Amino acid sequence: MSARFNYQAKKYFLTVFAGTGIFWSVGGVMSFQPDWVDYYMLPMLLGLMVPAMVAVVLIWRQPEGALRRDFKCRLLSLSLIRPGVFLLSLTLMPLSVLLSIVVSLGFGGSVEQFQVSDSFSFNSGFVPVLLLLFLAALFEELGWRGYGFESLEKGRSFLSASLIFGLLWSVWHLPLLWVNDSYQYEIYQLSPWYAVNFYLSTAVLGVIISWICHINQRSILVAILFHFVVNLSQEMLSMTQQTKSVQTVVLILFALVIIRNQWPLFMRKRELVITSTRDTGSVGQNWF
């Protein structure tokens, strides 16, 4: 990493949290008002876009063009992607779903969970849920991978940066607890523990996505596609919330296996800012 990249982690995350919090708070109030409920997704979408918008502003304000070129390369270059590793990584979330359902059967879970879900688990107003799932992956990862995670790496080990990011990403979703018909609101009404499980699993996924992005030479496109698969996997089958709690344990085990087998990568400390999308060394060659 070159000092000229000058990532500003505090400014980025404080601005993102404040901006998203304001928009989602307005959307939350509107979602409970009959006169405004038809339009509540407008501020919700703006809040979703904040991580990407702040990242773009901070990147384009850099006096030199190196960071802009790095961002565009990581977003658009297909040559960064390791096809075999990437395709294999896409099976992680569907596999975690299937394993979790199988385990849940031993605790009285229903075999009907293997059925394809006939509807989504939440409502998103005038925005089709499938489109929202993709937009969430797109706008979040443009910001998180384009700037947010990179800003956390300076002076920290990859493990520390991944854990901090996972925690911040999880907390960023908190305002959704008070938005009518959101997934987080719906599961909180069922049980506050289901909401706790969601935030814990989100933090764990933050570590996994960071790793998958890194071993594909920091490709933002990979992060977007993997995030979208994560969103789809959570909605495709008729998993119960109890089984999603089992899934969190499965994801924690996946993360521990990854960290154990990629220990040199996770302990690697970045004192400087990456200047090349190919500056990944030899770590990540052995996937598991």
Q: 159: how many CB neighbours lie within 10 A of its CB? A: 19
Contact 258, 208 (CB under 8 A): yes
| Best CA proximity match to 270, nearest among 159, 168, 172 | 159
Q: Using one digit for the tens of pLDDT, what is the confidence trace for 41-58? A: 999 999 999 999 999 999
Across 254-282, average pLDDT:
74
Q: Using one digit for the tens of pLDDT, what is the confidence trace for 121-160? A: 898 889 999 999 999 999 999 999 999 999 999 889 999 9
What's the whole-number average pLDDT of the chain? 92
Residue 287 pLDDT > 50 = no
Q: Where are the domains of the chain?
A: 3-111+122-270
Q: Using one digit for the tens of pLDDT, what is the confidence trace for 225-260? A: 999 999 999 999 999 999 999 999 999 999 999 999
User: Between 269 and 160, whose confidence is greater?
Assistant: 160
Residues recognised as catalytic: 140, 173
> pLDDT band at residue 274, thresholds of 50, 70 and 90?
very low
Its pTM surpasses 0.85: yes
> pLDDT band at residue 186, thresholds of 50, 70 and 90?
very high
> pLDDT band at residue 271, thresholds of 50, 70 and 90?
low
Contact 220, 141 (CB under 8 A): yes
Partners of 270 in the beta sheet? 154, 156
Q: Which residues contact 278 (CB under 8 A, 6 or more apart)?
A: 80, 217
Residue 103 pLDDT > 60 = yes
Per the document, the length of the chain is: 288
Q: Which amino acid, 253?
A: L
Long-range contacts of 257-263 (CB under 8 A, 24+ apart): 257/288, 258/207, 258/208, 258/211, 258/288, 259/159, 259/207, 261/286, 261/287, 261/288, 262/211, 262/286
Long-range contacts of 7-13 (CB under 8 A, 24+ apart): 7/147, 7/150, 7/151, 7/154, 7/273, 8/58, 8/151, 9/148, 9/151, 9/152, 9/154, 11/58, 12/54, 12/55, 12/58, 12/147, 12/148, 12/151, 13/148, 13/151, 13/168
